[in-house]
Amino acid sequence: MKKYQSQNFIAGKWESQGNGDSLVVLDKYHATEIGKIPYATEQQMDDAIVSANEAFEITKKWSAGKRAEMMQKLYDRLDVRKDEFIDLIINEGGKPRSYATNEIDRSLTTLKLAIEEATRFGGEMVPMDWGAGEGKTAFTKRFPIGVIACITPFNFPLNLVMHKVAPALATGCTTVIKPAPQAPMSCLAFAELFEEAGYPAGVVNVLVCDIPVAEKLVRDDRVAKLSFTGSDKVGWYLKGICGKKRVTLELGGNAAVIVDEDTDVESITDLVAKGAYLYAGQICISTQRIFVHTKVYDRFQSALIESIGKLKVGDAQDSSVLVGPVIDKGHMNRIDSWVQEAKAEGATILTGGRIANDKHNLYAPTLITNSTSKMKVAADEVFGPVAVLEKADSFEEAVQMTNDSKYGLQVGVFTNSMKNFKLASEELEVGGIIMNNIPGFRIDHMPYGGVKDSGLGREGLKYAMDEMTEGKLIVY
């Protein structure tokens, strides 16, 4: 197995020393060690913040063409090494091969979009030639705000880093990144490309660190913005301690699918099953709740169970596997405890409901019915291969059931009724409504984010760039 980068990247240098403790990174299927990274000290975090601010004094002066040129060098190097990154994502993240390949392709797309946006991103003309402004011309020009603190999750260890770093690079900002401890090595490997591309020291810093050191990054006034993707509990806590800096939070949820009575249910259950169980359900917009009109419920349930039975569970290196390992044993045991708790409270397990292989952290794709909105499997984010399936007597009731949640990220709506299409568009309390598709649909340039406990702000290149810049009004 290739030896991966196992040092922190601070101020343009690889640091093999830390606070004396190390993070051991495991292959998620075989549980073998693939990396051992030192935990960074508070002083090293301070060094990273200082370096990022020094680099910002350089990059904020770059032309749009220069920013695009430098990102193109990154793109070319990532493209050459894409197979290496695919294997790394499979090993450290337990992501099925086809989905890991998709992540690299999306990462390249995200970076390509940033290259394009860098050369067309700007302000706007402001109407001024009337009243007291007669004879005046006004426009806004956007300027980068500074250092971006990026805290990223394990489930997209490269593309969710890219969704923070690429818009920063496109605008002239610099970054300090704290990757997820379960899968930090893709981000460290990405940092190697900055060296090769010739970026100034400090444009990107990557530190594996414990909670107090991460909080130092969040609290520091020399950091202009926090961009966080992770759990709602942690995200809202960080917002509370970050001071006056800008904040973007992408916090996941318990995404729903609504199936109307006019839907050809047998034609969609393979898609719904994939949306619920791909990558063991460890996706912010995995389908977790399914609300089906009573008139087609029995047909849908039968077809969905058949679709679930066709999903292959196993080693993520196997290209036919869609349901790989849960990220670690702690998460697997939590998932199982939630399922068993729901069962004890009266829910019915239609399929799955068990640990499939304890050695390899495999959990059987699980479908539950007779649940309530208060059960953890419905109310909270399972982040595992678990979904609940319930009847709705009308489309309106399905919308109400979907909204009965503290979350609101995305929802998939299957209907052929224009009336219900309009109702869903107006009434669903979510950041995104995906018509006749699953809520897991995401294209990397679209405005992506949620409402309620699902987050604050939007990602997607242009939208993230807006939040990483300040508009300055110029009148003459």
Give the pLDDT of residue 101: 98
Task: Specify the pairing of strand 469-475 against strand 410-414.
Answer: unpaired
Statement: the pTM of the whole predicted model exceeds 0.85 = yes
> Mean of the per-residue pLDDT values for the chain?
97
How far is residue 288's CA from residue 348's CA, in Å, rounded to a whole number?
16
pLDDT in tens, 430-452: 999 999 999 999 999 999 999 99
| Given 150, 173, 209, 284, the catalytic residue | 284
Q: Is the pLDDT of residue 354 over 90?
A: yes
359-417 confidence digits (pLDDT tens): 999 999 999 999 999 999 999 999 999 999 999 999 999 999 999 999 999 999 999 99
3-class secondary structure, 382: coil
Does the active-site annotation cover 57?
no
CATH code for 8-251+454-475? 3.40.605.10
**Residue with the two structure tokens 């990397």:** 444
Q: Cα-Cα-Cα-Cα dihedral of 451, 457, 95, 153, to 10°?
A: -110
pLDDT digits (tens, 9 = 90+) for 91-106: 999 999 999 999 999 9
Yes or no: say if 123 and 108 are a contact pair by the CB < 8 Å rule: no
| 194-248 tens-digit pLDDT | 999 999 999 999 999 999 999 999 999 999 999 999 999 999 999 999 999 999 9
In whole angstroms, what is the distance from residue 246 CA to residue 47 CA? Answer: 22
CATH 3.40.605.10 positions along the chain are 8-251+454-475
pLDDT tens, residue by residue, 128-148 = 999 999 999 999 999 999 999
The pLDDT-based confidence of 4 (bands split at 50, 70, 90) is confident
Note the maximum CA span of the chain: 75
pLDDT of residue 3 exceeding 80, the answer is no
Q: What pLDDT digit, counting tens, does each position of 153-178 carry? A: 999 999 999 999 999 999 999 999 99
Q: From 261, 195, 221, 300, select the one nearest 419 (Cα to Cα).
A: 261
Quickly count: other Cβ atoms within 10 Å of residue 396's Cβ.
12
pLDDT reading at 2 higher than 80: no
Measured between alpha carbons, how far is 17 from 63 in angstroms, rounded to an integer?
Answer: 36
CATH number for domain 256-443, candidates 2.60.290.11, 3.30.1490.190, 3.40.605.10, 3.40.309.10: 3.40.309.10
75-84 tens-digit pLDDT: 999 999 999 9
For residue 284, the model assigns a pLDDT of 96
Residue 426 known to be catalytic: no
- For the chain, give every residue range classified as CATH 3.40.309.10: 256-443
CA pair distance 146, 9, nearest whole angstrom: 19
pLDDT band with cut points at 50, 70 and 90 for residue 1: very low
% of the chain residues with pLDDT over 90: 99
Indicate the burial class of 221 (C-beta count within 10 angstroms; 0-12, 13-18, 19 or more): exposed
Active-site position among 92, 103, 117, 250: 250
pLDDT value at residue 5: 86
